[in-house]
Structures are given as C-alpha cells and as structure tokens.
Amino acid sequence: MAVEIEEVFAEQGLRVFPKLSETTTGDWVRVWRAGTIATDLLDLVLNPNDRSDRELGEIATKIKGKWTWENGESQKQ
C-alpha cells in the first residue's frame, strides 16, 4: 500500500521522505514538491556521487557568503 500511496503522490508532483515503505505507524515523514530547491538538495545529500559532492560544495560556498553573485563564481581566497 505504501508504494501505491507514493505513486499517487508522484502523480501529483510530490515526493515523500523517508519512503513510506521504510516507515511504520506513528513515524514522521516529509512531503516535498518535486523539482524544488529543497528536493534537489535532499537528492544531493541522499545520493552521493562526484556530481553531488561538487554541487554540495558550491551550495556550501554560497551559504558561507563566499559567492560572487554577479558573475556566478566563487570568490578567490
């Protein structure tokens, strides 16, 4: 039944974390709108690879305030 519910959510452009099949009664889940910055960030954290590590590094640089927004590049230290 959990898979069916997740499929219905997906048809509506929503994602659930953690997957309902990995939860039990009383557990908390988050429902995310697919294609948002939040879901992109969650995917980067949950699916480590060369690309995701690089993108997480760029996001960390932006959050730390070391990003030059005008030209889209990290400031040289």
The DSSP 8-state label assigned to residue 15 in this structure reads: E
Band (pLDDT 50/70/90 cuts) for residue 28 is very high
Q: Are 75 and 67 in contact (CB under 8 A)?
A: yes
Q: What percent of the chain has pLDDT over 70?
A: 86
Mean pLDDT value across the chain: 85
- Predicted confidence at residue 67, as pLDDT, reads 63
* pLDDT tens, residue by residue, 34-66: 988 888 888 888 888 888 888 888 888 888 877
CA 12 from centroid of its chain's CA atoms: 18
Look at the pTM and tell me if it is higher than 0.75: no
